[in-house]
Structure formats: C-alpha cells, structure tokens
Amino acid sequence: MELSFARTWLPYIYLYGVGGIIFLTGMFIIFKSKSINIVRPRHKKWFGVLIFGFLWYMFLHGFSILAALNF
Amino acid sequence: MQQVSSTFWIIIFAYFTLILGFGSYFARYNKTTNDFFFSGRRFSWWLIAMSIVATGVGSHSFLKYSAKAYEHGFSSTMTYMNDWFFIPFFLFGWLPIVYYTKVKSIPDYFEKRFGSGVRKLATFAILGYMIGYIAIGFLTMGKTLQPILGWNIYTIVAVVAVIAGIYITFGGQTAVIFTDLAQGFILIFAGILIFVLGINYVGGFSIFWNSLSPEFKLPLAHFNEPSNFNFSGIFWQDGVAGSVGFLFMNQGLIMRFMATKSVNEGRKAAAFNILFLLPISTIVVSNAGWVGKSISILTPEKWDATVKLDHVFTQVAGLITTSEVVFAFIIAAVAAALMSTVDTLINAVAAVVVNDVYKPIVKDRDDKHYLKVAMIVSAGATALGAISVVFFNNFPTLYEAHGFFHSTMTPPLVVAIFLGIFWKRYTTEAAVATFIGGAFLMWLGNKYPGILIAPFDHGIEMDPEHPYSYIRALYNTLVCLSVGVVVSLFTTPKTEEEMDGITVWSLDRAREKFKGSKPNDREGKKPITTWKIVEGQDELVRFSQKEMDFMAAEVGDLVYISDSRGWLGGLKSCHSVYGKVHDEEGMVYISAEIADSAMFVEGKTVKSEKEM
C-alpha cells in the first residue's frame, strides 16, 4: 500500500519548518540580547552545539523515515 | 492476573530497600533548607544529567509509551525527540536567569519580574500543575502493579503514596538526586534488557524488523489522523506546550539544574540529556510496545489481544522474561522509577509552599523550623497527589490523561514565563490578564471546541468524547499569548532599572549582581592542591600567588572547590570567595566552617576553579 505524503514527509517538513522558526527565533533573541557572545571561546563552542543539535535531530528523523520506507 | 511467587516479592522488596536506602544515606547532607531543596548548588553536569533521565523517564513513561508504541508504532518516539527547538531559549535565557537571580522557586521569579500579585497567581497555577503530575505518577504505579496484584487501583495508590511520602519527607533534594542517579542507570539498563530479550524472543532483529509494516516503523505519526494520535496535535501539545512546560515551569527540574555547580555545568547537563540520553530513553520506554506488536503478529497464540493498552508493558515483560528474577527486576525498576519522578515533584511542591506561601506569612523563624514545615508539606503533597488520581483515572489511557493535562495546565504559565523573560514590553497587568483572561478563553474553548478550537485543528476530526485532546494546546497557547500581547500594548511596562538583571536583555547585570562585582571572564585552569584549616579568615579561601595566576583569579572572585575525586560529582564541595594570597604553594587555606559544610576528608586533595 502506497503511504500518503501526509503520512511520510509532511510531518517532517512541518516539524523542522515550524520547529525551525522557533529555533531561529531563539537564536536571534539570544544573539540580539548578547546572552550568547561568540567572542568568548566557551560561548563559541555552545553556538556550535546549538547548531549541531538541530542538524542531529533533523538527521535522526530523516534517516528513520528513509529506513522505515526501505530506501 | 499475572501469577507470581514469593521470590518475586522478595526481589521487589530488596530492590526498594536498596534503592531507597542508597538515597536516604545522602539525607545526612541536608543541613539547611537550601540543602533540602537545592543541594547547595554543588554537583557536576554528568550527575545531574543522569538523574534527570530518571525524573523524565520515571513514572508514566514505560506504560504510556509502550501502549502508544503498540498501537501506533515508532511514532511513539515523537514526544522525546522534539525538545531541541526551545533549547536556545533555555540554555541562554531561563537557565542563567534562575541561577544568577538566585530565585528559590518559579513564583519567586514572578515576584521579581511582576510583583506579589502575579506571584500568588503563579503559585496557585504551579502547585496545580505539580499536584496533577504527582497524581499521574501514582496512577501509573497503580496500573503497573494491578495486573500482578489484582488489587483495586486506589489501594495500590494508597500503599505507594505512603512509601513515597516517608522517603521523600526525610530525604530532601540530595537524596532525590542520588536515588535518581542510580535509577537513571538502572532504567536504561532495564529498558535495553527488555529490547534485547524481546528481539531474542521473536527470533532476531531482522525477523523483528520485517514483521512490522513500513507505516508502523515511521518515526512521525500521520499529519492529522486519527484524532487520538496525530502528528500536528502532538507537536503542539508535546513539542511546544509539553517541552516548554517541562523545561521552563517544572519546578522539580529547575531545582535539579540549580543544584549544578555553575550555569555552564547546567548547560552541559541539559544539552547532553537532550542530544544523547533522550533518543536512548525513547527506545528504552517504547520498545516493549514494538516487541509486543511483533509478538502479536508472529505468534498470535501467545498474545492476549484483549489486554488493556496500559497493560501492554506488563504483558510483554511477563512473556519475554523466562526467569521470574528478571521479570521481578524489570517491574521493580519501573516501580522504583515512579519514585524518581514523584519524589522530585513532592520536593518541588514543598519548595514552593515553604518559599512562596509559608515564609511570606511566618517570617523570621530559624531554618530548622522551615525544614520541619518542608517535611510536613512533603507528606501533605503526597496525600493530595494520591487523592487527585480519581480525576485522571477517567481517561482511556495514561497518554491521553497526560496530553489533556499538559494542554490545559501549561499555556498560561508558559506564556507568562516566556514573555516575562524575553519581552521587556510585557507588563504586570498583562501577566495578570494572561492568567485570568487566558484561563477564561481556555474555558470557553473547552465549552465550545467546535467553534473556537476547530479553526486551528489542522484537519483533525473532533472526537466528541475528548474533543481536540492535543491540538487544543495550540488554541490555548495562542489565546494566552494574544491576551498577554494586547494588554501589554495598552499598559505601561516597568523601567529598565526595575527589570535590571531579570530578563534575557540584562544577563550581564544578573551575573554582576550574582557576584557582587564585575565578573572576571579570563579563562583559567584548575589546580589540585592540599588544604588546611586556618582560622580567622571568615568565609574566604586563600591560595598562593602561583595558584591564583594558574586560575586567572583575583581577590574577590568567586571560587568553587571540590574533592579532587571526580566520581563524587561534587558531593564534597563548596562555593567561596578568594581572600588575600598567602605564600604556601600547593595549599589552600579554608575555615573550619567551610571544611565542615563541604565535608572535605582530611588527607584528600581538592580541585579548585574560578567561577567568575
């Protein structure tokens, strides 16, 4: 049985679309407020961790969908 | 009813005695209410990260997610895999604010930001949230043990409440952290053990994998159907309201982060937990359902298809464990996990009641008095949580009970906290309106879901029995947000001076206030030295110039000193201030009071680090 787009990739796009807007808003605010200051070496590492985390989850979900669909 | 012998009960009893004894041993570290609630802000990130696993995974998860995993497949993992979106707000917003402002509770923050009226509203809302959470924990325990004991669910809840109440009343936060630390490891081990035994039971991984349909194996649910489990509803209920609720307004979790030795350690604990421990945890709590589905397809004669969904976990554990000892261990681990969630919340309720209700009324009593009150409140919170089970037992599954709870309880508080931290324009009047007006509009939505919530339903069909259990979180969040924004635009915000150090826009000032002078951010190293007690230097600690240079520290900076044995995770440690230098290299001078509160051991070296 062919799985519909609403069952396969639409949730993924919605998750990282709407979730991405929330994430970027957070990044914007902490930069703008200088709560994170990448001039400080420790904060520079944290900036990397924040971006890595987003991509890490994007990868985990994307890979799981592909595995489920036997790609 | 599952048949068990006396061996089963001996193992359960032994497990509980061991794990509760382990935690209670650390109760001797509670000397003040600060220790009872916050463990003296001393622990390393790894200890807190592991203890958070037990708090989060704790009670409801094994049953709740096994049920949904059996019913809907791998998409039961959604709840644990959508927390990262809010992490910038948490790591560089809320966490440093609660740490540096030294708030004792979330309502305490509301008083600093808005005033005492909003503090009262927040106290009421937060106590309701936590008591509800405790009730769900107790209900889970009842449902776990009912198939084994065959008792009435309320009898089980009463027995469990008595055990939990006694333990937490005397243990305090340090006992909670250490019990949870042990529980975190055991839970992950028990969950992986179930998976390994389950895979073995069905004949290997490829048989397990191929027995399940592609639809079952998809990690995200269908966008908008069925009404009791769909992606968009769960995203708003769990990914937004639930995640923010858990990170920002779960007093128990906040207290756990406040027990870390520094903001940076708190960040490490949170990031490690979400990046690595949550993906593992989601497999740990869900796999019994996946294995159950596989068994029901491959060997239907062995599977009782009439089993209630919330009992799937117990049935799988009973089937795949050929030894009663292993079965007893798994049930004991899950049952004791309940304690890990509930004990955190009971301790948190005590913190809120003592700091936000009792202390403002009964002032200037000695710390022993407040500690005693904290213990009495802990016992009361346990009883109230047990009574509240009656309400949540009306929902078809734990998952739905929890979903409804999150959708309705969290939005006003979450919106008020969020706007309070990140939007300077947000006013006191708007915060009051968010609670009262927001609650009113949420009530209207509950009464007329077909009219008010339907426009936000993403195409989800309305179930008349439990209308829009999940997507109502979107409506509830939006109405609270709208009320907060609109009222803010028509009222006058506080001045910059009045909000100094309590929003994300003035975090540097918060750090400065925390220290009492300008922070020293030069990067230093951490020397390991011996120590000795030298009287007549107050609460200051003194190093030689060589060590001061090594740490890039100056007199007046803040210092953290711990036993150099890293595996203690900061249990034996203290915070202090650098005093004037001495000339004895490799030695730190401390007072008897500091040595006593840090519980340093004579002859053991200490590691020191400059905080700021």
B191-240 residue pLDDT tens: 898 999 999 999 999 999 999 999 999 999 999 988 888 999 999 988 88
Place of tokens 């529980």: B183
Q: Identify which of B351, B321, B240, B285 has the alpha carbon closest to the alpha carbon of residue B68.
A: B285
* Token pair for B444: 């209207």
Position B32 scores a pLDDT of 59
Q: What is the model's pLDDT at position B569?
A: 83
Fold topology of B6-99+125-354+369-407: Sodium/glucose cotransporter (1.20.1730)
Residues in chain B, pLDDT under 70: 1-4, 23-24, 26-40, 55-56, 58-60, 167-176, 339-340, 397-399, 537
Q: Which of A22, A28, A69 to mutate to test the interface with B (most CBs of B within 10 A)?
A: A22
Domain residue extents for chain A: 10-68
pLDDT at residue B211, rounded to an integer: 94
Between chain A and chain B, the number of residue pairs with CB atoms below 8 A apart is 122
- Residue B168: per-residue pLDDT: 64
The confidence score (pLDDT) of residue B368 equals: 78
Please give the single-letter amino acid code of residue B389.
V
Query: B204 exposed, middle or buried (CB, 10 Å; 0-12, 13-18, 19+)?
Result: exposed
Instruction: Say if the Cβ atoms of A15 and B235 lie within 8 Å.
Output: yes
| CA–CA separation, B76 and B90 (whole Å) | 25
- Mutation target vs B (from A27, A43, A57; most B CBs, 10 A cutoff): A57
Strand order in B540-541's β-sheet?
B540-541, B573-578, B558-563, B606-610, B528-533, B587-590
Is B81 within 8 Å of A53 when comparing Cβ atoms? no
**Subunit contact A23:B85, Cβ cutoff 8 A:** yes
Which residue in A has a C-alpha nearest to residue B224's C-alpha? A6
Residue of A nearest to B508 (CA): A35
In A, minimum Cα distance to B217 occurs at A68
The verdict on a CB contact (< 8 Å) between A61 and B264 is: no
Rounded Cα–Cα distance for residues B433 and B118 (Å):
10
pLDDT at residue B276 in the model: 92
Q: Does position A31 have pLDDT exceeding 80, yes or no?
A: yes
Min Cα–Cα distance to chain A from B218, Å: 5
Between CA B418 and CA B427 the distance in angstroms is 13
Give the model's pLDDT for residue B170. 60
CATH of B528-610, one of 2.60.40.1290, 2.40.40.20, 1.10.150.120, 3.30.300.30: 2.40.40.20
Instruction: Check residue B40 and give its pLDDT.
Output: 63
Look-up of token digits 């009219």 = B451
What would the pLDDT profile of B354-394 be if each residue is shown by its tens digit? 888 888 888 878 877 887 888 788 888 888 888 888 777 77
CA distance B410 to B398: 18
**A10: contact with B, CB 8 A cutoff:** yes
What is the pLDDT at residue B167? 64
User: Domain residues of chain B, as ranges?
Assistant: 6-99+125-354+369-407, 528-610
CB contact under 8 A, B218 and A64: yes
Cβ B223–A67 below 8 Å, yes or no? no
- Which residues of chain A does B508 touch, with a Cβ-Cβ cutoff of 8 Å? 34
Give the one of A1, A7, A30 whose C-beta lies nearest to B92's C-beta: A30
Q: What residues in B contact A51, CB-CB < 8 Å?
A: none
Q: What is the 8-class DSSP label of residue B542?
A: B
> Of all helices (H) and strands (E), which one includes residue B513?
helix B507-515
Chain A hits for B229, CB-CB cut-off 8 Å, are: none
User: What pLDDT does residue B104 have?
Assistant: 76
**How many angstroms separate the CA atoms of B423 and B421, rounded?**
6
Q: Check A50 against B88: CB less than 8 A apart.
A: yes
- Closest CA in chain B for residue A11: B223
